[in-house]
């Protein structure tokens, strides 16, 4: 497989982003973007991403974040949402990093590569010493992705419902 490039969106990425929306259309919209809305201009979308990166105009309780997209041959096939800090919810359940891979591209090592590059970003850009990564206890693909990237199991918490536990792992970046 060719190289995966994980990076923020640029002004020239509108077509790739719109094609990605289609590719991710079988999944809940948040797995592709937390902020995209039909009809907004792409440049407005980029401005909102930049505001969130810098912590400008954040809704109450939100922390600054980076949304990075995984490009393969110019096509968006995955994404990583990286929270720069932890609030109470993220410390308990959400963690620093959440990633997704488009359905046709799964089981090819792409999430493993996305998390690897996300960790480099956390260390080099955000200057974090360690990150919390979480997933549902029954999400075998995500558990393996975390363990392959050095995740150390901490515990599991009941958060979303009475039945599905969230596993919590720390990854040391030093
Ligand atoms: C979970 C997810 C990110 C995995 O992406 P992926 O690109 O298929 O993962 P990888 O190919 O890097 O796989 C990592 C390991 O998990 C295994 N794996 C992946 N999906 C699996 C599944 N559904 N069941 C069992 N094992 C799985 C792979 O075989 C690989 O193990 P190996 O190295 O021993 O062969 C993807 O299924 C997804 O986007 N799911 C929806 C969103 C989500 O759950 N995100 C995670 C939130 S914490």
Domain ranges in the chain are 4-172
Tens of pLDDT, residues 56-72: 999 999 999 999 999 99
The model's pTM is 0.97
User: In this predicted structure, what is the pLDDT of residue 160?
Assistant: 65
Tens of pLDDT, residues 81-107: 999 999 999 999 999 999 999 999 999
Look at the domain 4-172 and name its fold. Answer: Aminopeptidase (3.40.630)
Binning pLDDT at 50, 70 and 90, where does residue 23 land?
A: very high
User: Do the Cβ atoms of 65 and 82 come closer than 8 Å?
Assistant: yes
The percent of residues in the chain predicted with pLDDT above 90, rounded, is: 94
Pairing of strands 65-72, 152-158: unpaired
Q: How far is 30 from 160, CA to CA, in rounded Å?
A: 16
The region that residue 75 occupies, defined by phi over 0 for left and psi between -120 and 50 for alpha, beta otherwise, is beta
CB of 109 within 6 A of ligand 1: the answer is: yes
User: In this predicted structure, what is the pLDDT of residue 2?
Assistant: 78
Indicate which residue's Cα is closest to atom 26 of ligand 1.
141
Length of the chain: 174
Range list of β-strands (E), 14-164: 65-72, 75-83, 97-101, 130-136, 152-158
CB of 8 within 6 A of ligand 1: the answer is: no
CB of 47 within 6 A of ligand 1: the answer is: no
CB of 135 within 6 A of ligand 1: the answer is: yes
């Amino acid at each position: 497989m060719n190289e995966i490039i994980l990076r923020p969106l640029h002004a020239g990425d509108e077509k790739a982003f719109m094609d990605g929306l289609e590719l991710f259309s079988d999944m809940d919209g948040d797995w592709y973007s937390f902020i995209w809305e039909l009809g907004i201009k792409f440049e407005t979308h980029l401005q909102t991403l930049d505001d969130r990166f810098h912590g400008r105009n954040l809704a109450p309780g939100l922390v600054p974040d980076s949304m990075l997209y995984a490009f393969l041959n110019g096509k968006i096939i995955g994404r990583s949402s990286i929270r720069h800090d932890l609030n109470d919810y993220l410390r308990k359940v959400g963690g620093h990093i959440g990633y997704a891979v488009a359905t046709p591209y799964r089981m090819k090592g792409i999430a493993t590569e996305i998390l690897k590059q996300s960790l480099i970003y956390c260390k080099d850009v955000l200057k974090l010493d360690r990150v919390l990564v979480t997933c549902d206890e029954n999400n075998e693909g995500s558990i393996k992705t975390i363990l392959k990237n050095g995740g150390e199991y901490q515990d599991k918490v009941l958060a979303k419902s009475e039945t599905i536990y969230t596993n919590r792992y720390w990854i040391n970046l030093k």
